Amino acid sequence: MSVAILGAGPAGLTLARLLELNDIDYIVYERDASAETSRNRGGCLDLHPASGQAALRAAGLFDQFQKFARYDAQEMRVLGPDGEVIFHRKYEGQEEDPEIDRSDLRDILVNSIPKDRIKWNMVVKDILKQEDGSVNIRFTDGHEAKGFKLVVAADGIWTKARKLVTSAIPEYSGVHYLQAPITHSNPAFESLSQMLGPGAVVSIGSGRQISAQRMRDGTINVYIGLNVPEHWAKNSKELEDPDMFRGKLLEQDFKAWSTELTDFVKYCEGSFFSWPLYATPASALDWKTIPGIALVGDAAHVSTPFVGEGVNVAMHDSLQLAEEIVKYGLENLDKAVAEYEKKMFSRAIDLINRSNASKALMHAEDAPKGFKKVLQGASPGEEKLAMSERAMEASI
């Protein structure tokens, strides 16, 4: 086997599909037990023409994407804690950045390659460089896959491959996200659904955030953003009693907020899925090419999600890496990776810097004051305004 891909997310599967189309031997290793395992994590995302959509076009999957794309979900309102409408992007037939559920995108990509090309339930323990230049992968079950010419890490922020190319460690952003659904059977579903509309509602204030997003099946995903310590979820134990925690949010963190917003918190269901947000230091994106190893997506350059380009950039990474592999061939993979990295570094540094700036704007203690100033000082089409729109969109 020539190429091993770690991770069956959008980046890893995009690369796999592109290698499949070019008859390049590969195998994908994924820690999830099956494609169904992570189906309810995350919400939906917008794919952009020059990156995510471009990758799908190159992969011959754009028509499949169109079957699931939701153009009216581009509608979005940004509210202050008191319910004041700060910004409203109406859907008026725009076709640039349609939304798709993450699970639908994964299904499209999984189904685009032969089933035997993905090995599920394979948790990577270590990546081992060999004296002959090949690379081995050791898994937690004791199995070791040997002799790869190239291992591509597309397995996210805590990939075991990063240490082979850089000593940099992703840094905690100070923000923690919580997610819970509101389903059709919820007694508050109809009223909250009417308030939400076809797309998204985002509210920011005092370093906190409440967001809601429409899924393809009509259900609602609710997201809560809090400025808390890095290991808060583990150390505080608050999430062990979801109902009590909801009460605490309503009585303390969001006590002064409009009820039309806090009702999303009040009526969201079950336990919270939680994750802290991290970012790779932009200064770390300058490593020398290491033979046999390549990083794509969050494995290479995780960023806070505040400009809405994480998955798009990850799929763009895979598109560019595949193009270089096809160009230089399996006998010159080091050159292919080096050329890919040159392009990736500049894009990733720009993404991280813009994401950090947007995070500071959205989760400031005096938010939404700074966001209002940006809107007041920007004319339609201005880059700063576009960045802020994407920041709001990506925050869900």
What is the CATH classification number for the domain harbouring 183? 3.50.50.60
* Domain interval for residue 68: 3-73+97-169+279-359
Q: Are residues 269 and 317 located together in one domain of the fold?
A: no
DSSP SS3 for 237: coil
Residues 290 and 199 occupy one common structural domain: no
Statement to judge: residues 15 and 110 lie in one domain = yes
- Is 78 a member of any domain? no
Distance of CA 240 to the CA centre of its chain: 25
Helix, strand or coil, per DSSP, at residue 217: coil
What does the block give as tokens for 313? Answer: 């950039």
Indicate whether 131 and 44 sit together in one domain: yes
Note whether 9 and 141 are same-domain residues.
Answer: yes
In the three-class reduction of DSSP (H, G, I as helix; E, B as strand; rest coil), residue 330 is classed as helix
Flag whether 84 is in a domain.
Answer: no
Task: Give SS3 for 376.
Answer: helix
Distance CA 311, CA 109 (A): 13
229 and 341 belong to one structural domain: no
What pLDDT tens digit does each residue of the chain (396 aa) get? 799 999 999 999 999 999 999 999 999 999 999 877 765 566 899 999 999 999 999 999 999 999 999 999 989 999 999 999 988 888 777 777 899 999 999 999 999 999 999 999 999 999 999 999 999 999 999 999 999 999 999 999 999 999 999 999 999 999 999 999 999 999 999 999 999 999 999 999 989 999 999 999 999 999 999 999 999 998 988 999 999 999 999 999 999 999 999 999 999 999 999 999 999 999 999 999 999 999 999 999 999 988 878 899 999 999 999 999 999 999 999 999 999 999 999 999 999 999 988 888 888 888 888 777 777 665 444 434 444 445 545 444
Both 16 and 154 in one domain: the answer is: yes
Q: Within this chain, do residues 54 and 162 fall inside the same structural domain, yes or no?
A: yes
State how far the Cα of 211 lies from the Cα of 128, in Å rounded to an integer.
Answer: 42
> Does residue 108 sit within a domain?
yes
Backbone angles phi, psi at 141, to 5 degrees: -85, 5
| 385 and 266 assigned to the same domain | yes
Please tell me whether residues 47 and 177 are part of one structural domain: no
Global model pTM greater than 0.85: yes
Structure tokens given for 229: 């310590």
In a domain, 386, yes or no: yes
Count: domains in the chain:
2
Any domain includes 370: yes
Looking at residue 112, its pLDDT comes to: 98
Is 252 a member of any domain?
yes
| Domain match, 331 and 300 both | yes
Q: Looking at residue 383, what is its pLDDT?
A: 37
Q: Is residue 191 part of a domain?
A: yes
Predicted confidence at residue 378, as pLDDT, reads 55
Residue 214 lies in a domain: yes
Is the domain of 24 the same as that of 150? yes
pLDDT attached to residue 342? 97
